[in-house]
Amino acid sequence: MARRNKGKYVNGILLLDKPFGLSSNTALQKARYLFQAKKAGHTGSLDPLATGVLPLCFGEASKVTPFLLDSNKSYTCTAQLGETTTTGDKEGDTLQTREIKPFTAKELEAVLDKFRGNITQVPPMFSALKHNGQPLYKLARQGIEIKRKERAVTIYELDLLEQTSDTLSLHIKCSKGTYIRTLAQDIGEALGSGAHLSMLRRTEVEPFDCKKIISIETLESLIKEGKNLEALLLPIDSALPSHPSLVLSDDELKRIKHGLKVSRRDLPNSQIIRLYDKENTFIGIGRLSSDLQLTARRLMRTN
């Protein structure tokens, strides 16, 4: 007989402040343990050396995870000039040490401007991308180099925050799939000195308000104080604020729950429609079908 998954049904989204040195999955499992949650997942990993916003989806919130994968993200980072590494960050072995060529503020701005807007990147070998089912980082650790295709990404914002004789601290807002390590390396190459990433912090994940994120230490303290951690969770529909919504009648709700379509004159022309019952309870995600009717995509378990 299969073992039943222990834990309780917890539903909602936690904006975790991932600590330095933990993998995203380890941080997820720590939070899941503290919530005693039956089910949880994250929406885009951070490297162990990175910190910052890691949205965790508990229970039914895991059903909106696919709709968050295209989210824009913001970061602050520090590029260490004059040294390249095997991994593109300070965790790797030194590949090359070079003299840092002097440059003016105008020259630096011209270099940064080359990386704004639509650019292409070659994903690093030390990444979770797969080749024939194997993560690239596992192949890289075996000394195997695989040719990677360039990918298109968008850098919406790239600003200098601080500069020292051998470092650049930057603010970046970018599209999904952007590798900040690669961006730091490419900027270093454009400056003629090479670079690696010495610090990375994710500060924003759209569409969430990330001004207040919760650390594992805070969760542990609240447990000791006897507080209810579930009060920290954002509602599931907070992941979809920009998408149109519909309130369904009892009959319409019954049809949707039975896999049937609903005809209405006011259906939004959208593949993501937030659905609510008369009590304004979020009951799932619908879409406009090819025959211009409402059909369900993902429904929440509400009992």
Q: Give Cα 276 to chain centroid, integer Å.
A: 26
Cβ of 58: how many Cβ atoms within 10 Å? 24
Residue 250 designated active-site: no
Cα dihedral 152→93→76→231 (10° resolution): 100
- Of 186, 185, 155, the closest CA to residue 171 belongs to 155
Quote the DSSP letter at residue 206: T
Q: Which one of 47, 89, 186, 237 is the catalytic residue? A: 47
CB 68 within 8 A of CB 30: no
| CA 218 – CA 14 distance, rounded (Å) | 12
**Phi and psi dihedrals of 67, rounded to 5?**
-85, -5
- Of 205, 280, 188, 203, the closest CA to residue 239 belongs to 205
- Of 234, 261, 258, the closest CA to residue 59 belongs to 234
Residue numbers annotated as active site: 47
